[in-house]
Every structure is written in structure tokens, then in C-alpha cells.
Structure 1
């Protein structure tokens, strides 16, 4: 796993703050955001699949059961487990199918995460999304966390769109297509913009959940 240096992040944040008032407010509030990182493994991809369309708490509970059941979550371990066993952990049938498809691709060599991490951004994206079960959102998150690509960007991420709406003081949240188009002004640092928005949103949630002083 890797991450951009703090100097590169600071430079990108300053440019983004000039390009978009919403990002300027995020940067003013949280400063240079911490970059999320993760090991480029099958388990990382699997965890992302498990978290799709679920609350963080629910997904963590389900993935915890998978880890308890399998021990180390590897392609071989997933392929050796039955669908019923994986479903008993709380995974939906489509998610089991996606996890199995990704595991098969890694075992056969159709997906090589070492190669993905070494490739240019477009080639890396193409290899990831060619696998059934890895959509654009999952691919972009992997490129952000495991590769440290500063322009990778999960365009349909609801949290990002909501944070931008609040920071931009818009009455309504942009639709995905409009948000993707708007994000073009953030190139080549859309991934940094994502971290600014996530960082601000998490800080707001933490503040709102903090116990009130009596």
C-alpha cells in the first residue's frame, strides 16, 4: 500500500480550495486529510463488496463473521467454502457470487493485483472492472487505498455528494451525473477532493455524536 506525501496532498488541497468553495470550507475545517490506505489483497476487495449498500456497522458485523469462519480471507478460502456457509455469515446471494467471481479471476490469473498496482491508472481500472463483481466504485476505491492514485474517484459515492451539498450550501444534492461532471474541475486530484469531503463528513458526524456538555 502507498499514499501520497503530505507535501503533495497539501499542494493539491490548496489548488482544490481555489477551484471550489465547498472544498475550501472542507480544507479550512480539517486541514490536510489523512489518506486512507489498505493492503492490495483479495480481502480488501472482499471487504469493499461486503460494505456495498449497507451501513458501516452492519457490514463490519457481516465481514467479521466471514473472517471468523474462514480465518484468513483468501481466494482459495472463499472457493473452498459453500454458498450456504457464506450466506450464513450474512452475505447476500449476489455478494457471494461476486466474491466467488473475483476469487476465480485471481486464482486463474485473470486478475493480478500486483500488476494492477504497477500499471498506469487507465490500465489498472480496465483490469479491475473486467472482472464480474468489481464495478467502477469498487475499482476506484481500490486504486485510492491500495495504490494511492490521487485522481481515482468513486463518482457515485453518496457520502461525497452529500458532503459537497452541505459544504457548497446547495438546496439539493447533485445527481450522480452532474456530480461527476462537476468533479472535472478537481482533476488531477479528484482523489484528494474525495478525502477532503470524507474527512469533513466524518468530523461532522463525530461532532454531532459527541456528548453535550452539561
Structure 2
């Protein structure tokens, strides 16, 4: 797995603080955030698909059943298992289809995760998005966690938008398009901005005695 150096993250935090008061407040609260990392793997892509558009509690339960059923979540096991039993873990038919198309792309070499990790952020994102079942949010989280792309940014992430609203003192949360446009000013450190906002959210959750997101 790859992550930016702590010095690079700190430098980005300082630059972002000069650009956006909301991020300056987040940085003042959290300090240099820890970079979320995960091994570059099919597992991360599959898990992210499962967690889309459902509550964390429901996704935790579904993913736990998927892991218990497969034993090890690999492209080969997904492609060769009893599909109805896998779906019975709680997967919708579209999500089951996505797990299969992503597994097939990796098995056939159409999606090369080592190549994704080595490529620049735009080329890496394009390769991920070319696979049916990998949407922008899934691709961007993968680029952050598994490839350490410092400018990857999960557009449409509700937690980021709400954190920015609260830190910026805005009355209403920005719409997705407006938030993405606002985030353009954070280039080339949008991934650090995301980690600052996530770090602030978790600091607030800790104050309330709620587990981190």
C-alpha cells in the first residue's frame, strides 16, 4: 500500500489552511491527519461497492456474511461460487453483478491494480472507471486508500460536504456540483482536504462518544 509522507501531508495541510478557512479550522482541531491506507486489492473495491448507498450498520452485516461465505474474498472465489448463495448474503442484484464484473476485469487483465497504483491520478481513475461497477466514488476512495493519490477526491461524499458546511458556517450544504467546483481550489491536495474533513468528523464523533466513521 502507498501513502504520502507525513511531511507531504503536513505541507499540504498548511497550504490548504491558507486557501480555505473551513480547512484551517479542521487542521487546528486535528493536526496532521493519518492517511487511510489499504492494500491494493480486489477486496477493497468489492467492499466499497457493498457499502454504497446503505447504512454502515447494514453494510457491516452484509460484508460480514460475504466474508463468512467466501472465506477469502478474491476474484476467483466470487466468479466460481454459487451466485444465489452469494446474493443471499444481502447483496442486491446490481451489486452482485458489479462484484462479478470487477472480478472478471482483474482476472482477465483489463484492470491491472499495479498499473493503477503506478499511474498518475487521472490515468489511474480512467482505468478504474472503465470497469462496469466501479463508479466515481468507488474509484476515488480506492485511489486514496490503496494508491495514495494525494489529489484524488471522493466527489459526492456526504460526510465531507456536511463537515465542510459546519466548519465553514454555511447555512445549507452545497450541492454535489457546487462542492466539486469548490474543491477545485484545493488542487493538488484534494485528498489531504478529504482526510482533514474526515479527521474533524471523527474528532466530533469522539467528543460525542460515537465510534469513528
- Normalising by the smaller structure, the TM-score range is over 0.9
1:30 counterpart = 2:27: no
**Alignment partner, residue 104 of structure 2:** 104
CA root-mean-square deviation: 0.9
**Alignment partner, residue 201 of structure 1:** 201
* Paired residue secondary structure (1:147): coil
* Paired residue secondary structure (1:34): coil
Q: In structure 2, how many angstroms separate the alpha carbons of the residues matched to 1:125 and 1:5?
A: 21
1:51-200 correspondence to structure 2 within 5 Å: 51-200=51-200
Show CA shifts across 1:121-147 (max 9, x none).
111111100000001111111110011
Aligned residue pair count: 210
Q: In structure 2, how many angstroms separate the alpha carbons of the residues matched to 1:63 and 1:124?
A: 26
Q: Which runs of 5+ in 1 are unaligned?
A: none
Compute the displacement of 1:57 (Å): 2.1
TM-score scaled by length of structure 2: 0.96
TM-score scaled by length of structure 1: 0.96
Compute the displacement of 1:114 (Å): 1.0
Q: In structure 2, how many angstroms separate the alpha carbons of the residues matched to 1:56 and 1:112?
A: 29
* Paired residue secondary structure (2:35): coil
Q: Which runs of 5+ in 2 are unaligned?
A: none
Compute the displacement of 1:87 (Å): 1.5
Show CA shifts across 1:34-69 (max 9, x none).
100001110110000011012222212211111111
Compute the displacement of 1:82 (Å): 2.6
Q: In structure 2, how many angstroms separate the alpha carbons of the residues matched to 1:54 and 1:34?
A: 26
Q: In structure 2, how many angstroms separate the alpha carbons of the residues matched to 1:72 and 1:31?
A: 37
Q: In structure 2, how many angstroms separate the alpha carbons of the residues matched to 1:69 and 1:40?
A: 22
* Paired residue secondary structure (1:209): coil
Q: In structure 1, how many angstroms separate the alpha carbons of the residues matched to 2:119 and 2:11?
A: 25
